[in-house]
Structure 1
Amino acid sequence: MEKQFTQEQKYILARKRVEKITKFYKHLAVYIIVNTFLTAVFIVGDMNDGDSFNEAFLNIWNYQIWFFWGIGIVFKALNVFGLGMFFSNNWEERKIKEYMNQQDNRR
């Protein structure tokens, strides 16, 4: 049984969806800005402790916050966009057409 929504209900649902997407992009922007700043602080701190720029820049521990916070970003993206972000309903059909076009272009 399919639900029938009024225009007002459709508008409210669409608005909530757009708000979730907006919040996700704000969170993503904060993630990039804060992690860039923290990584720069970590690199400068390592350089003050005697490491060269290359040693400090290539120190993997300076980037661990990107990884752990990034896990949270991935889960938030999955919550907002769902698995359809990767495999939407028409994904298989699009891929089939893409591969067929590639075969046509090889001839």
Structure 2
Amino acid sequence: MTTEPTNDPLERLARRRAGAKLGWYIHALVFVLVNTGLAVLSLANGRHWVLGPLLGWGLGLLVHGLFVFVLPAGSGWRERLVQQERERLLKQRAQP
């Protein structure tokens, strides 16, 4: 397996998407571990405060998953937004 930088746009996009998915998997694993620990602590103390962190972090994990799996880098929607920003920046640069 090579880790050399490449000029092939398809290879760069594939690596970027694979890295994003790996990041989400790590996020999900930490989510499960931390929230399991919080649930154990909460229940061991006879309290029920674990729902707040679970919902908050769950929302973050959901949004992260949307950007990784539903709207991945290189998707048409994202590329259109990037192109619009690129054009806007070029116009700003051309103005005196």
Change (3 A) 1:11 1:83: closer
Q: Which residue of 2 aligns with 1:80?
A: 68
Tell me how many residue pairs correspond in the alignment: 66
Change (3 A) 1:12 1:83: closer
Quote the offset at 1:83 in angstroms: 5.8
The structure whose Rg is larger is: 1
Q: Which residue of 1 aligns with 2:51?
A: 63
Q: Is 2:23 aligned against 1:23?
A: yes
Ranges in structure 1 where 5+ consecutive residues have no aligned partner: 1-6, 47-55, 85-107
Q: Which residue of 1 aligns with 2:94?
A: none
% identity of equivalent residues: 29
Change (3 A) 1:10 1:76: same
Ranges in structure 2 where 5+ consecutive residues have no aligned partner: 1-6, 73-96
Question: Structure 1 length normalisation: TM-score?
Answer: 0.56
- RMSD, aligned α-carbons: 1.9
